[in-house]
A and B are shown apart, each in its own frame.
Chain A
Amino acid sequence: MNNPENAPVIVVDQLTARFGANTIFDRVSFQVNRGEILVILGGSGCGKSTMLKHLIGLYKPATGQVLINGVNINTDDERILRRVRMDLGVLFQSGALFGSMTLAENVSLPIQEYTDLDSATIELIVRMKLGLVNLAGYENHLPSEISGGMQKRAGLARAMALDPTVLFFDEPSAGLDPITSVELDNLIKSINAGMGTTMVIVTHELESIFNIAHRVIMLDKEARGIIAEGDPRELKDHSTDPRVVNFFNRRPPAGPAPRGA
């Protein structure tokens, strides 16, 4: 909010991820603009999820830094970190709802923690958030009592509880049937259009990439970094890199199949 409208929300600067001697990606830099839906994609093992965990500050980078709204996500200052975290919402792969709490309790948890609102107002906000993800009426259900797609939507409602400027999604369509998956994609698009929330999505579902992405970043295991960037439709038809073309056209690479892929 302190930034001018056109400044990038996320700046990744020379980021290196290393586990022991194993370098996942090396000196990667990119930016995410305000209101954009950026998809990080790539084959299995290319470091998509590792990248996401670096972006939300769960992993510490070996070198480089991640700035969100101009603040280093790896700062040691607890107060700043708390403010930055309020500005982030994360939808984990399986929703990561707390199993012992009802949906309403799950969604109201961050609101209670970060604001001083009275319980009636919080209840109203929770109803609104659940309505936003089409789960009106489910406030007293436990996560185990609803389906996987509903759990993801409830997870999204919780991620949006504080109206974050950036929402991160880890494989939003994994494990969902095609229709539920498209519904979730449309929900993501409508929230992006309505609230102008910046979104970073890790996925390898081609259909949803073409459906929602404004821009994609493709990571590669061998290159240990970004091998392509841009509009997915553009990349599919006009890229000269065989790895990119193969990915978008669902073609396995020529030659012997890689082991353990």
Chain B
Amino acid sequence: MPGHGHTIQVSGDPGQQVIFTVSGRIALDNLEFFISETQARLREMTPASLTVDLAGVEYLDSAGALALIELESNARGRSVTFEFANLTDKARGIMGLINPQALVTPPLITDRQTGNFVERVGETTLKVIDDYKRMLIFLGELLGALTHALFHPREVRWQDVAFYMKRAGVDGLPIVGLISLLLGLILAFMSSLQLKQFGANIYVASLLAISIVKELGPIMTAILVAGRSGSAFAAEIGTMMVNEEVDALTTMGFSPVRFLAVPKVLATMIVVPLLTLYADFFGILGGLIVGVVGLDLTAYTYLKETQTSLTLMDLITSLIKAGVFAVIIAGIGCQRGFEVRGGAEAVGSATTSAVVAAIFLIIVTDSAFALVFQYLHI
């Protein structure tokens, strides 16, 4: 068969002594043809004894050697007397490396079972429960460490706190400002389309003030910080886990939670309420632009209306919410980081789950706050 790099000449009679004279190259790239051809010839000739003459073989790689060994065991399996002729030293060397025992050794781990539906549901449930258990344990540890920090402020690594305040806060100013401004613009624009019909243009200001300050400001900020910084915390601590840096900290007598998590949580707690105020400001500014440009309101009336529709308590509750969100974001980010075992893939999934879990908990907590504030008449 030209083009495949090898030729096989068959001599002898079927059922008798047969000789395969192989020449050319037997390598990975023509392995398939070589195997199928020899198999076909073997079936066709049903020899009593088979000699494979390798005198003409110019190149043999380990895959080719494997094919020859397979041919031999195949022939012996049909109780054919088998031998190689004109085996060069080189070919003998390669074939000597192949351990025939290894080819039939069963895997030490058989294919990983996924189990049936019920098993998987059970496993997942247990995993979720376990996940929450560990989250609670970590929360306890974190609160303990934070309380400790409260009474021993000198032991807090304030340099790290400042560093993470810059990372999570200052570096996030442009995107938080931009998104809040656009959100304010869109919200004011869309609501003005409705309110215009009733001649209630002025209520755009109070609608915006209440929705931005009480809900959208804190939530948007928290989601942005979760995406920017929660993920970064998880990736950073996760990589430190992989590199055994966390183990190094532990052996040096540091508490990883106190050393790694507390500065991040403190920094986020300081920065997120400030970012929320900033977001509120830009959101209202967006509304103001729409009000002045599109609704013929004066800046004074718009701001006056904003002021009357908000109470100081609204602002305070908004900041409390932001503070709680901050603990959730940084806490989850660090916890997912500490959960990393193994390698690069685990870091990736920890980062993803840090963001997803943080956003989920932010929304849940926000709903809880809405109910609590309602019943407390705040």
- Contact, CB under 8 Å: B106 / A100: no
Chain B residues, Cβ within 8 Å of A160: 62
Instruction: Say which size band chain A's interface belongs to.
Output: 35 or more
Partner of B62, one of A1, A115, A144, A163: A163
Considering only residues 313-360 of chain B, those with a C-beta below 8 Å from chain A are 342-346
Does A227 sit at the interface, judged by CB under 8 A?
no
Chain B residues, Cβ within 8 Å of A260: none
**Contacts known (A160-B62, A162-B28); A128 close to B105, Cβ less than 8 A:** no
Does B87 sit at the interface, judged by CB under 8 A?
no
Assembly CA distance A136 to B224 (angstroms):
50
**Contacts known (A115-B29, A128-B103); A1 close to B93, Cβ less than 8 A:** no
Interface residues as binary, B83-102 with A (CB distance below 8 Å gives 1, 0 otherwise):
00000001001101111011
Partner of B97, one of A116, A144, A195: A195
One of A39-47, A61-69, A117-125, A169-177 contacting the partner: A117-125
Does A193 sit at the interface, judged by CB under 8 A?
yes
Partner of B63, one of A118, A138, A163, A191: A163
Instruction: Say which size band chain B's interface belongs to.
Output: 35 or more
Chain B residues, Cβ within 8 Å of A117: 28, 31-32
Chain A residues, Cβ within 8 Å of B59: 1
Assembly CA distance A160 to B105 (angstroms):
20
**Contacts known (A100-B345, A124-B66); A131 close to B31, Cβ less than 8 A:** no
Q: Which DSSP category, helix, strand, loop or mixed, fits chain B's interface? A: helix
Does B35 sit at the interface, judged by CB under 8 A?
yes
Tell me the nearest residue of chain A to B27, going by C-beta: A163
- Contact, CB under 8 Å: A140 / B111: yes
B47 to chain A, nearest CB (A): 23
Does A201 sit at the interface, judged by CB under 8 A?
no
Assembly CA distance A144 to B242 (angstroms):
11
- Contact, CB under 8 Å: A125 / B105: no
- Contact, CB under 8 Å: B102 / A127: yes
- Contact, CB under 8 Å: A128 / B62: yes
- Contact, CB under 8 Å: A141 / B94: no
**Contacts known (A116-B32, A124-B103, A132-B99); A137 close to B108, Cβ less than 8 A:** yes
- Contact, CB under 8 Å: A195 / B93: yes
- Contact, CB under 8 Å: A131 / B105: yes
Assembly CA distance A130 to B104 (angstroms):
12
Assembly CA distance A65 to B82 (angstroms):
50
Assembly CA distance A46 to B192 (angstroms):
71
Does A231 sit at the interface, judged by CB under 8 A?
no
Number of A-B contacts (CB under 8 A): 95
Interface residues as binary, B213-232 with A (CB distance below 8 Å gives 1, 0 otherwise):
00000000000000000000
Partner of B90, one of A136, A140, A196: A196
Assembly CA distance A115 to B32 (angstroms):
10
- Contact, CB under 8 Å: B109 / A131: no
Assembly CA distance A115 to B106 (angstroms):
25
Does B107 sit at the interface, judged by CB under 8 A?
yes
B114 to chain A, nearest CB (A): 14
Question: Which of A99, A117, A194: most chain B Cβ within 10 A?
Answer: A194
Considering only residues 96-120 of chain A, those with a C-beta below 8 Å from chain B are 99-100, 111, 114-118
Assembly CA distance A141 to B110 (angstroms):
9
Interface residues as binary, B107-126 with A (CB distance below 8 Å gives 1, 0 otherwise):
11111100000000000000
- Contact, CB under 8 Å: A99 / B105: no
Partner of B110, one of A100, A130, A140: A140
- 24 A-B residue pairs with CB within 8 Å: A1-B59, A99-B344, A100-B344, A100-B345, A115-B29, A116-B32, A124-B70, A125-B28, A125-B63, A127-B103, A128-B66, A128-B98, A129-B62, A130-B102, A131-B105, A132-B102, A137-B102, A140-B107, A141-B109, A144-B343, A163-B61, A191-B97, A195-B94, A196-B93
Name B's A-contacting residues (CB within 8 A): 27-29, 31-32, 35, 59, 61-63, 66, 70, 90, 93-94, 96-99, 101-103, 105-112, 342-346
